[in-house]
Amino acid sequence: MAKVIDFKYDKPTWCPGCGDYTVLAAMQQACVGLGLEPEQVCCVSGIGCAGKIAQHFGGYGFHSLHGRSIPTATGIKLANQELVVIAAGGDGDGYGIGLGHSLHAMRRNIDITYIVMDNHIYGLTTGKLSPNSQKGFKTKTSPKGSAEDPIRPVEMAIVTGSSFVAQAFSGNVKQMVSIFEQGIKHKGFSLINVFSPCVTFNKVNTYDWFKEHIVNMDEDESFDPTNRMDALRRVHEVESVCTGVIYREERPAFHETMLGASETAGVHLDLDLAEEEMQSLIDQFRR
């Protein structure tokens, strides 16, 4: 059985105190908790501070292009459905440049877990407006405050068909690990938006700010995450600042229902066709 150390590779280079450290740790713990071996897990990320996670995670990794973790992960999952595929990256990556991909993967219900390290800012490019920065938020690219409404990832995900939607907080590792485990176990697309503070560039949405504002839905017994409308309502009420499993539904995953769905992972197929097989394919054209 693998241990946390087996899921580590190299020392991360994030700023001290960056929320991404505990996200990585929680991912590692969740994998161990689920009894996974490092080679079974593939972490796919985009570009950004958050995106560096693929390099530091001890499983297979693909540190892809900015905004393109989702199509990369989709290709991997459909090529080898046996792999546990975790896509991970920043809020700019997933809700900005990559927004279209994220949503299409949700409605297809691709069986991947998507962890967004949402710091409401562009970290790696040194503090610029993110699509999830709050209105009025001042950054180097919004010196007078942002004039844009932020993306509402959780509501959007519920509406678009993500079959598992949750939020976590870097300051609450225990809950985060539990949510990661649930998300990974969930068959279908899991969006896990993690409030992961950028201690260097975001001086508003800090650990303290989140601690003060977060509503923990996991602790609310009246809340039923299988009730879509209720989930939408509650999330909107708390202006998205909540943690816990917010919505879940059971729906077949894309690789189970797509054309060509099969038990055998593509990577295990025998590519050499028998002579007759080839001939019969060619003979199709003798029409």
Partner 1 sequence: MQFCLDTAGTYYLRNSIVRGVHMNKQLTWKVGGAQGEGIDSTGEILATTLNRIGYYIFAYRHFMSLIKGGHTNYKIRISSEPVRYHGDDLQVLVAFDQLSINENLREMNADGVIIYDDKFQAELPEGSAVRLCPVPLTGIAKELGNVIIKNMVAAGASCRLLNLELQPFFEVVEEKFGSKGKDLIERNIKAIQQGYDYMKEHFADEMFQLPTAPQVDRPHLLMTGNEAVGLGALLAGCRFLAAYPITPATEILYWLLENMPNYGGKIVQAEDEIAACIMAIGANYAGVRAMTSTSGPGFSLMMEALGLAGISETPLVIVDVMRGGPSTGLPTKTEQSDINQATYGSHGEMPRIVLAPTTIEECFYYMIDAFNLAERYQCPVIVTSDLYLGMSKQSVDDLDMSRVVIDRGAVVTQEELDQRGQKTYPRYAVTESGISPRPFPGMPHGRFCALSNEHDDTGLEIEDTDGRVAQMDKRFRKLDTFNGGEHVSYKGPEQPDVVLVGFGSTTAQIAEAFAELSSTYSIGHLQIGCVYPFPTEAVRKILAHTKQIFVIENNKTGQLAQMLQQNVGMVDKVEAILKYNGNPFTVRDITTTVRG
Ligand X SMILES: Cc1ncc(C[n+]2csc(CCOP(=O)(O)OP(=O)(O)O)c2C)c(N)n1
Scanning 5-13, 43-51, 74-82, 227-235 for contacts with ligand X by CB under 6 A, the matching segment is 43-51
Instruction: Return the one option of a second copy, Mg ion, partner 1, none that residue 80 interacts with (CB less than 5 to 8 A, by type).
Output: partner 1
Q: How far apart are CA 156 and CA 237, in angstroms?
A: 15
Longest Cα–Cα distance of the chain, Å, equals 72
Pick from 90, 96, 111: nearest CA to 48:
90
Pick from 9, 113, 20: nearest CA to 60:
9
Per-residue contact string for residues 93-132; x = within reach of ligand X by CB under 6 A: x-----------------------x-x-xxxxx----x--
Query: What tokens does 255 get?
Result: 């690789």
Per-residue contact string for residues 108-137; x = within reach of ligand SF4 by CB under 6 A: -----------x---xx-------------
- Site size for ligand X (CB under 6 A): 18
Per-residue contact string for residues 128-167; x = within reach of a second copy by CB under 8 A: ---x----------xxx--xxxxxx--xx--xxx------
Contacts of 240 (CB under 8 A, 6+ apart): 152, 153, 154, 155, 167
Q: What is the DSSP letter of 97?
A: I
**CB-side neighbour CA atoms (13 Å) of 267:** 9
Per-residue contact string for residues 193-212; x = within reach of ligand SF4 by CB under 6 A: -----xxxx-----------
Pick from 196, 19, 27, 20: nearest CA to 7:
27
- Min dist CB 230 to a second copy, Å, is 10
Residue number, 52 or 186, with CB nearest to partner 1: 52
Buried b (16+ CB within 10 A) or exposed e, 129-168: bbbbbeeebebeebeeebeeebbbbbbbbbbbbbbbbbbb
By beta-carbon distance, which residue lies closest to ligand X? 90
Residue number, 12 or 48, with CB nearest to ligand X: 48
> What residue ranges bind a second copy (CB under 8 A)?
96-100, 103-104, 107-109, 131, 142-144, 147-152, 155-156, 159-161, 228-229, 232-233, 236, 251, 254, 257-259
> What residue ranges bind Mg ion (CB under 5 A)?
90-91, 119
